Amino acid sequence: MNPRSALPTEVHGVRCAPARTIRRFGPLLGGIALLVGCTGPAPVPPPPTPSPSSTAAACPESGVAITAGPVDGAMGLRAIGIVLTNCGTRDYTANGFPVVRVLDEDRQPLDITVGNGSAPVSAPDSYDGPPRPVTLRPGEQVMARILWRNTVTDSTVPATRGKYLEIAPAAGEPPQIVAPRTVIDLGNTGRLAVNAWQIRP
């Protein structure tokens, strides 16, 4: 037997029992023996993981946040649901239609005609209810919809492709820039339709 194995050891300032004492417990209890055999200050725990930013901290100064959902596209018709969330601490009233502009990749506005209601982009449906004021408590949401068609009627006219949407909750309110999950491919129609804010299931 190595005489040095019977001597206490010290690791990073922690004094431990002889190695032969630890070996008696076998491989399964080696970890427990090490804890029992060592004396000294407990290791300093790592600092706590910072908690994520609160909703209030990420909320715009206006007290509302606008996000865009996935695109539903079929037969050249495109639709995006946009959600307005009251992320503030006071009630907020959404009323009427959002104000929407289409921006290019440099965030410059494109020459697009935006109409309230589904026509003339699409036939009216359940989203075309009359605009009504909706008061939202903190955390509540309303939804609107943006419609367009990817239609090319003149091959000599370059197709319009937007990268971002600039959306204000209503006229005169601060806009927010939203990056949809797809290109706004308007073909050469140059038309966009917007439905009013509504509470939807």
Domain range enclosing 13: 3-39
Local structure of 89: helix, strand or coil? coil
- pLDDT value at position 15? 52
Same domain, 141 and 172: yes
| pLDDT tens digits, 127-146 | 998 999 999 999 999 999 99
Local structure of 131: helix, strand or coil? coil
**Sheet containing strand 191-194, strands side by side:** 64-74, 77-86, 141-149, 191-194, 113-116
Backbone angles phi, psi at 166, to 5 degrees: -100, 120
Element (H, E) at 37: helix 30-37
Local structure of 58: helix, strand or coil? helix
Beta-ladder partners of 160? 187
Question: pTM score, two decimals?
Answer: 0.70
Q: pLDDT exceeding 70 applies to what percent of the chain?
A: 71
Residue 19 or residue 63, greater confidence? 63
Total number of domains constituting the chain:
2
Confidence of residue 1 (pLDDT cuts 50, 70, 90): low
- pLDDT value at position 152? 87
Mean pLDDT, rounded, of the chain? 79
Asked if residue 66 is part of any domain, the answer here is yes
Asked if residue 171 is part of any domain, the answer here is yes
